[in-house]
Each structure stands twice: as structure tokens, then as C-alpha cells.
Amino acid sequence: MAYVSLILGRVGKAVIVLLAILVFNFFLIHAAPGDPAAVMAGEAGATDQQFLDDLRERFGLDQPLPVQLWRYMSGVLQLDFGYSYRQQMPVLDLILDRLPATLLLTGAAFCISLLFGIIAGTLAAMRAKRPSGSIIMGLALLFYATPLYWVAMMAVLVFSVTLDWLPAYGYSTVGAGYTGLAHAGDVAVHLILPALTLGLFFMAVYTRMTRTSMLSVSQQDFVKTARAKGLAPGVIQRRHILRNALLPIITLAGLQAGQMVGGAVLTETVFAWPGIGRLMYEALMQRDYNLLLGIFFFCALLVILFNMLTDVIYRLADPRIKQGAT
Amino acid sequence: MSEPIQESGAPLLRIERLALALPEGADRLYAVDNVSYDLTAGEILCVVGESGSGKSMTANALMGLLPTGVHVAKGRALFDGQDVLAMDEISHRALRGRRIGMIFQEPMTALNPLMRVGEQIAEVFEAHGLLTPRARKEKALALLEEVRLPDPASALRAYPFELSGGQRQRVMIAMALALEPELLIADEPTTALDVTTQAQILHLVKDLQARRGMAVMFITHDFGVVAEIADRVCVMREGKIVEMGEAREVLDHPRHDYTRALIDAIPADVVAAVGRPADVLAAVERPADVLAAVERPGDAIPPQRDDKDSSPLLSISGLDKVYRSSGGWFQPKREVVALDGIGFSLGKGETLGIVGESGSGKSTLGRCIVGLNRPDNGEIRLDGVDLSALEGRELRAHRRRIQMVFQDPYASLNPRIRVGMAIAQGPIANGVPKAEALAQAQALLATVGLDGGAAERYPHEFSGGQRQRIGIARALALNPELIVADEAVSALDVSIQAQVLTLLDDLKQKLDLSLLFITHDLRVAAQICDRLIVMQKGRIVEHGIAREIFLSPQHPYTRELLEAIPGRRDAPEPATAAAGVL
């Protein structure tokens, strides 16, 4: 069936893209100066060449690059992402350990930005000529233009330091030993600031985009048809204008969703959130090749998955797209 | 100005001294100025005028759909005794759709692309809080049957993009009629449709009107349509009513010059005149340029052939083109045969018309000749060189020789590029120095009848007719031997159409060009073409000398096209068998 062949074709392409990304990243990482052995030796204070050579031999770094690539790739094909000598743990375990925290943060930020962005954009479009509409757009522009780290630091300053409403950092209260619902509540309170900070930029983007899109859709002929039917303004806005205006938002949301794993480095660092972003930053500083490659792999995997998901959603939302775009 | 109404009782709609103010900075103060007319139940009133005459504005005011910036300055519009212009929004909304229905010009964009047809019809009942969801659906089905859509049950579940233009317009009519309104406003509902489809839709509107006893306000620019359906006519120009009266009376004895000009601008009379020898005498009084089509000698090859070699400029043989779309999720692969074994030739200095309805493959043919599409098989020989076999640099060198004028004067000019530059770009790409090309563009603008300052302006500062002149200047810039005009005047008002056609014809003579004129409109083809090719479903069904095709069409399809032209006084009712097949 055409449906099955389409999915198979997509998956086939995705696998090829993933492998290509791995190879590319592999060479990119090895092109950077220094290697894990040098970093570890430096930290240990040893400059002994013999020690360095031993380390390199243990990590397999003494082999020619193509051999290293071959070993790594054949491992990946068996879902073995190697061992992080720095963290003394298998890469897969490390990533899977950190992944939930990151997905929780970015997922929350995604939902917040999409939901509030569309609501604010709709309001701004309906009040395009009134002061309230201008205020919404002014705020959107402010959040759009302000750097993320600055928003994060100011949020901590106001809501944690001055007002003391919300915790300034971390995933949960250390040593509180909450369980069940209490734990969930504790995490949720910790989540608020980082998720809002991370979501603000995209919220502003969605607001602006929804407004523009709604205003242009409201000029179209079928809106006039809807009015000629005698429909109430609210129904016209929701059913005719907003639905059509959301199509370009889906594209953008797909892009944002693709950044869910790798896009939160800054926020996780500022708020000491134990996610993939911080793990990646540490791995980069320590030249932890296997770990870095593993994280890159997961980032790429998620981007590809969300791209496919966006395509599917787009097809559901717009009946005009029937052909298997390739 | 309003005529006395013969019937007893108050009219359904009475418009009294209505004035609608335009926003400041418009070309005039009022969109409509001091307009009064009545409309009685069971009557079809045609409001006629060209674009910008304000003919749609009154209707939009009635529906509360005035564009932003336009507002009611004075006057009343009494619908069943109530002034709709003074109503609050909620009572006005209760009127819309329920007692006054409206259909619009563009069936392609007037339906929500994301909603199924059935939902959109059911929405009318929902808007007025009528019926249960199930009953709404049944009613929608009944309505689709009433407007004679083929396979109404599946149309109910279809999305608008799955229907043709004529089918969508039927859906619009079903929607407007859902609540049995007393007044139906039709704003150019057939302008965007093929001629046979137009005839069917007109027939449908008239039929439904008679059965339901509605009043219909039919807005159009086309006196052919008026002759077809109107009881009374109201002619508007620059916001004012210039003439009003019984349809027959106005058509036969127009009192105002403007009305006469509009009626004369319709080449339908030429066709009709050719068709019936008795009327040829009557046609003698018509303007010379309209008559030219009738009186031009019917040579297949024009007089210039004597001093040139007799080989044709363009000769096409065995041209095939199939569009293939890869299969979708649940759909098999689709193939559309656009061209099927097309062959013809075009002499130097000749004008060849290619006539057909949408989907006949005529535009694909034009695009293949210009080189925008590649044919699957066949030859396109220009002066003996097979263009379809050329590639890259060689092809580009030959492209200069064939230029195109496009249909949509609004979309075919880049809005961010000054007109002079838009014309000069072609020559610049072919190595002419920029200054020289720009100077040449100035001269070309003068040739097509625009002033020299035009080069410095942007496309949006021009009207549709002026833009089409710019499009012609752009095509001329490369000194082509052949111009392909794809529906070049279809988007223009009739009087502007006549001007642009005259211009094309003049230029053709002056510059010794050949012209391939693609159109769906037989009336336009009648004015300009020496020979005609009639296309249907990718094949040539009839070809010959233009005049002879009009006099005695051989193929049934050609006859159908001719008969569908509105306003032919002896036109029979469109075949009911064909009514459902759009």
C-alpha cells in the first residue's frame, strides 16, 4: 500500500541521514585539538609520555582514524554507543539517565510557548487596531529581542532572590526526600522558571506569526462567505480564520520540537538543570568523544522524528496535501 | 431614477438615495452616489458596470460586508420595510444567510479549504440555530441535489479542492439558498467560469429563482449575461446610475452612450451577426475595429506570404504531454493527458487562436511552445529548428524569439521591480548594456501607449489594462518573432479588452509578428484571429479559418461552445443532459 511504502521510504532515508550525521560528527570532533587522554593527563598533573600513550591505547585512540570510525560505527549498529571513560559509565546509560529531565524541561517550554503564543497572537489579531493588541505585540517584540541568558538571570533575581517565590536552580529540593505527588509538585515548582525562560522566545515568535497569519487569512474570500452566512464573529475567528492561520505555525513548531534535546544548554546551565544540555557541555570540555557522539546521535534522531511527525500532522491538518512529498 | 413597479404592494428591497463614502485619498469621494432602486419579489435585477463602477458596493453594504474604510454616508436600504443600514450587528447577522443569501465571484477561494463541503453547508443552519446536526446533514444533501451536483453524496464529504470551479459555484449557490432567502445577491458568480459552465450556472440561477420566487440582484460586467437572465437592468458608472429599465428595452434601445459602449464592446454580437446573415447589415454600424474580425479576408495565410518564403514560422507535430502525479497515501498514481498528438503550423504574420475550456490543454500547449514545459514527444519547429531537442545555451539563444504575455496582469509583474527595469531585464540578460536596455524600455512603453514616466513607477500604480500593456512591452523587448498570449485579456473589463486587443493587432501588423492567441473566450477569438484551433481534452477537435468556424462549426464541442455564449438571442436552453457534468 502507498501508505506503507511512504513510511518505509521515509524511514530508509532517515537511517541514511543518521549514519551520515554520525560520520560527519566523528571527523568534526577529531578535527578539534586535544583528545580525552591529553585532558585527563593534564588534570592528573602528569606529563609523562608513557602515561599518555597508555591512556590512548586503552581508549583505542592509538589506532588510525578509519579504524576508530569502523569500530564506533559497528558498535552503534548494535546499539552500543561505547563507554565514557570520564564518567566511568556506558554512554547509553548516561544519556538515558539525563534524557527525562531534558524532555520534561523542553516539552514544558514547547507546550507553554505554543499554547500561550497562539492565544496571544489570536488576541492581538482580533484587537489589531486597539491598544491591547499593541501591548501584546510590544511584549512579544521585547521577548523576541532579549537574550535568553539575560531573561534567565533576571527571572532568578526577581522571583527567587527578591520575592523568594520559586527555587532558583536544581531539579528538586536536595535532601527533602519527597515521594509520589509531593515529589511531582516539587519538580513542577522547580520547572516553572527554566521552562518559562526557555519558552519565551518561541512564544514571542508564535505570537507574531499567529497574528500576521490570522490577519492575512481574514482578508480571504471564504471569510466573507462565512460572514454572509450570518455566523457569529467568534465562530468565524475560531473555525475559519484560526484553523487556516495555524498551518504555517505547524511548520515552525516542528522546527522548535526538533531542538528539544540539544536546544536547552544555556537554560540548563543557568538553572543547574540535570539534563542532556549540561552533559553535552561537560563532554565537550573533556573531549569525551563517545559521549559527545552519542548525544549528537540522539539530537539528530529527535530532529528527524519530529520532522516526520510534522509532516504527518500537516497532512492531517491540510487535506490539500495528499501527495507523498519527498 | 427608479422605474415604477407594475406589481402591487411594497417592493422587497428599496434603496433610497444611498451614498457610500470612500476613504480619503481615493480617486473619488463616493463609491456609490445617490443611488436609488427597487427590487420586487420574483424579479431578477442586473446591476451592470465595469470594475470600479461601484456596482458591488451596494450589495456589500446590504450584507454588512463593506471593506474597511468605506461607510454609509447617507440614504436608506429598506428590506421588507426595515432599514438594514441602520440595524445593529446582531439583527443584521440574523438577516444574513437567512433572508438574504449571497454568492461571490471566485468559487476557487470562496470556500474554506480545510472544511468539508457538507460541514460548510450545515454551518448555515447552525449559524441561525436551526435543525439538529443530523437534519442539517440531510438538508445539505438535498440542497446539493437541488443544485444538480453530480454524485451529491460524495460531494458532501469532499473538500473544496476536490471539486471543479463550476461545482464549487454550485456549492456556493446551495449554501446561499439553504434557508430559502427572499433575496439572493449574486456578485459576478459566473465571471471566473468557462463559457459552458457559465451557461449552466445562469440556467440554474434562473431556474431556482423561478421555482422559489426569490428576488435576485445579479451583479455583472457582461451584457451577454444581462440578455440571458435579467428582467430589469441598472447600469452604473463611477458610482452613479446612468440608465435603468426593462432588460429588453435597454438592450435594444440603450439611451445612454455608456450603455451603448458596453453593449458594443461585447463581441458576442459579431459572432451572432456572422451566424445570421440578416444581422450582418445591422452590424455595419458597429465600430470598425470590432468589425475587422468579420471582414478580414479569410485567408489561412496572410498577404505577407508573397514576399517571404512560404515555409511556416512555427510547425508542431505529434506533441504529447502527460502530467503524472505520484500516488498519495490512499490514492493511486494519477495521469492527466494534457496534450495528445497535437500538430499544426503557424505562418509568418498570422494570428492563430487556440480555444478551449479549462483542462483542454491549451495553456500546456502554450507553455511547451515557449519552453516552460517540456513535451514528452513531438517536435516544435521554429523556422525549421526543433526547439524541443535543444538544451542549455542553445535553447536560451532561441528562447528570445518566442515571448509570452500572461493571463494575470497582477501576478505576472514583480511588485518590487520598477516597470522600466522589468522590461529591460530580458535584453540585459541577453547582453544589451543596461542604459541602452532602459532607454529601449522607455520607447517600448510609448509604443504600447503608456507615458514615459511609467518606467520609474511600480506595477501596483497601474490598472489591470495598463499592466497588461506593460506585459506586452516586456514581451516585445526581446524582438520576438512569435508572441504567445495566454488568456491575455481574460482578466480585463470588456472595454479595456477591446483596447488591448486593438493594441495587439496593431503591433502585430507594425512589427510583423506572429501571434498565438490562447483563450477560453470565443468572443475574444472572434475579434483577433485569422485561424482557429478548438481543443478539448488535449486533442484538436476542429481547426480552420476563424470566420468559417463561427459560420458553420463542424464539431459538436465547438457548437456547444458557441451556443453557450450568453446573450445570443437565439440561444437554446443549455442541454439539461450536460448540466450536471461540469
ipTM score:
0.77
A227/B110 CB distance under 8 A? no
What are the DSSP calls for A224-236, one per residue? HHHHHTT--HHHI
Instruction: State the Cα–Cα distance between residues A190 and A172, nearest whole angstrom.
Output: 6
- Averaged pLDDT for residues B541-568: 83
Amino acid of residue B298: G
Tell me the sheet residues that pair with A241. Answer: none
β-pair type (B385-386, B71-79): unpaired
Of A268, A244, A261, the residue nearest A305 (C-alpha): A261
User: How many Cβ pairs within 8 Å bridge chains A and B?
Assistant: 99
Query: How close, in Å, is residue B45 to chain A by CA atoms?
Result: 20
Tell me the sheet residues that pair with B336. Answer: B323
Quick one: closest CA in A to B110, which residue? A222
Mean pLDDT of chain A: 85
Q: When comparing pLDDT for B278 and A277, which is higher?
A: A277
What's the pLDDT score for residue B285?
35
What's the pLDDT score for residue B576?
38
B330/A318 CB distance under 8 A? no
Instruction: State the Cα–Cα distance between residues B64 and B499, nearest whole angstrom.
Output: 36
3-state secondary structure at position B4: coil
What's the pLDDT score for residue B279?
36
List chain A residues with CB under 8 Å of B159.
319-320
B112/A225 CB distance under 8 A? yes
Cα of B241 vs its chain's centroid, Å: 24
Instruction: State the Cα–Cα distance between residues A20 and A28, nearest whole angstrom.
Output: 12
**Which ranges in chain B are annotated with CATH 3.40.50.300?**
13-264
Of residues A230, A322, A326, nearest to B93 (C-beta)? A230
What's the pLDDT score for residue B299?
37
Q: What is the dihedral of CA B59, B61, B67, B73, to 10 degrees?
A: 130
Mean pLDDT of chain B: 81
Of residues B98, B114, B330, nearest to A230 (C-beta)? B98
List chain A residues with CB under 8 Å of B328.
2, 322-324
Residue A304 C-alpha cell reads as: 528527524
Using the Cβ of B94 and the Cβ atoms of chain A, whether some distance falls under 8 Å is answered with yes
A225/B114 CB distance under 8 A? no
Of A46, A198, A208, A52, the residue nearest A123 (C-alpha): A208
What's the pLDDT score for residue B310?
61
Q: Which of A149-153, B177-181, B264-268 is the most confident on average?
A: B177-181
Instruction: State the Cα–Cα distance between residues A73 and B549, nearest whole angstrom.
Output: 73
Asked if residue B168 has pLDDT above 80, the reply is: yes
Query: How close, in Å, is residue B62 to chain A by CA atoms?
Result: 10
Band (A213; pLDDT cuts 50, 70, 90): very high
Quick one: closest CA in B to A225, which residue? B110
List chain A residues with CB under 8 Å of B161.
319-320
Residue B521 C-alpha cell reads as: 473566450
Cβ neighbours for B520, distance < 8 A, ≥ 6 positions apart: B194, B195, B355, B356, B357, B358, B362, B487, B490
Instruction: State the Cα–Cα distance between residues A192 and B571, nearest whole angstrom.
Output: 75
Instruction: State the Cα–Cα distance between residues B114 and A242, nearest whole angstrom.
Output: 11
List chain B residues with CB under 8 Å of A326.
326
Domains and CATH numbers, chain A: 2-91 (no CATH), 100-288+306-317 (1.10.3720.10)
B123/A323 CB distance under 8 A? no
Using the Cβ of B106 and the Cβ atoms of chain A, whether some distance falls under 8 Å is answered with yes
What's the pLDDT score for residue B112?
92
Output the pTM of the full model: 0.75
**φ, ψ at B260 (rounded to 5°):** -60, -45
Tell me the sheet residues that pair with A105. Answer: none
CATH superfamily label, B13-264: P-loop containing nucleotide triphosphate hydrolases (3.40.50.300)
Quick one: closest CA in B to A241, which residue? B112
DSSP state of A238: I
Tell me the sheet residues that pair with B102. Answer: B185
Asked if residue B361 has pLDDT above 90, the reply is: no
B114/A317 CB distance under 8 A? yes
Of B266, B316, B195, the residue nearest B48 (C-alpha): B266
Asked if residue A324 has pLDDT above 70, the reply is: no
Asked if residue B235 has pLDDT above 60, the reply is: yes
What would the pLDDT profile of B250-262 be if each residue is shown by its tens digit? 888 888 888 887 7
What would the pLDDT profile of B323-357 be if each residue is shown by its tens digit? 876 544 445 566 778 899 899 999 888 899 999 88
What would the pLDDT profile of B441-456 be if each residue is shown by its tens digit? 998 898 888 887 888 8
What's the pLDDT score for residue B484?
92
Q: Which residue of B60, B114, B188 is the best one to mutate when testing the A interface, meaning the one whose CB has the most A CBs within 10 A?
A: B114
Of B569, B559, B468, the residue nearest B195 (C-alpha): B559
Q: Which secondary-structure segment (H or E) carries B102?
A: strand B100-103
Cα of B117 vs its chain's centroid, Å: 25
Quick one: closest CA in B to A245, which residue? B114
What size, in residues, is chain B? 582
3-state secondary structure at position B244: strand
List chain B residues with CB under 8 Å of A225.
104, 110-112, 172, 175
Asked if residue B44 has pLDDT above 90, the reply is: yes
Cα-based distances in Å from A40 to A108, A203, A286: 37, 42, 8
Instruction: State the Cα–Cα distance between residues B475 and B404, nearest whole angstrom.
Output: 6
Quick one: closest CA in B to A229, which residue? B97
Tell me the sheet residues that pair with B317. Answer: B379
Of residues A2, A222, A230, nearest to B110 (C-beta)? A222
Asked if residue B7 has pLDDT above 60, the reply is: no
A3/B329 CB distance under 8 A? yes
Instruction: State the Cα–Cα distance between residues B457 and A173, nearest whole angstrom.
Output: 67
Q: Which secondary-structure segment (H or E) carries B322?
A: strand B314-325
Q: If phi over 0 gives left and psi between -120 and 50 gives alpha, with beta otherwise, what is residue B13?
A: beta
Using the Cβ of B88 and the Cβ atoms of chain A, whether some distance falls under 8 Å is answered with no
Q: Which of A81-90, A132-141, A189-198, B181-190 has the lowest mean pLDDT?
A: A81-90
What's the pLDDT score for residue B293?
39
List chain A residues with CB under 8 Å of B125.
none
List chain B residues with CB under 8 Å of A246.
none
Asked if residue A269 has pLDDT above 90, the reply is: no
Q: Which residue of A10, A213, A220, A222 is the best one to mutate when testing the B interface, meaning the one whose CB has the most B CBs within 10 A?
A: A222
- Averaged pLDDT for residues A274-292: 85
What's the pLDDT score for residue B545?
87
- Averaged pLDDT for residues B469-483: 90
Q: Which of A115-119, B65-69, B262-266, B487-491 has the lowest mean pLDDT?
A: B262-266
- Averaged pLDDT for residues B121-145: 90
Q: Which residues of A touch B (CB under 8 A)?
A: 2-3, 6, 220-222, 224-232, 235, 239-240, 243-244, 315, 317-320, 322-324, 326
What's the pLDDT score for residue B265?
63
Band (B282; pLDDT cuts 50, 70, 90): very low
What would the pLDDT profile of B410-441 be if each residue is shown by its tens digit? 788 888 899 999 999 989 988 889 999 999 99
**φ, ψ at B34 (rounded to 5°):** 55, 50
Cα-based distances in Å from B147 to A126, B119, B157: 36, 17, 16
Radius of gyration (C-alpha) of chain A in whole angstroms: 24
- Averaged pLDDT for residues B34-46: 91
Of residues B98, B104, B327, nearest to A224 (C-beta)? B104
What's the pLDDT score for residue B329?
47
Of residues A230, A235, A239, nearest to B96 (C-beta)? A230
What are the DSSP calls for B543-582, one per residue? EEEHHHHHHS--SHHHHHHHHHSTT-TTPPPPPHHHHT--
Band (B232; pLDDT cuts 50, 70, 90): very high
What's the pLDDT score for residue B149?
85
Asked if residue A156 has pLDDT above 50, the reply is: yes
Asked if residue B239 has pLDDT above 60, the reply is: yes
Using the Cβ of B384 and the Cβ atoms of chain A, whether some distance falls under 8 Å is answered with no
What's the pLDDT score for residue B175?
92
Asked if residue A298 has pLDDT above 90, the reply is: no
- Averaged pLDDT for residues B360-387: 87
Using the Cβ of B158 and the Cβ atoms of chain A, whether some distance falls under 8 Å is answered with no
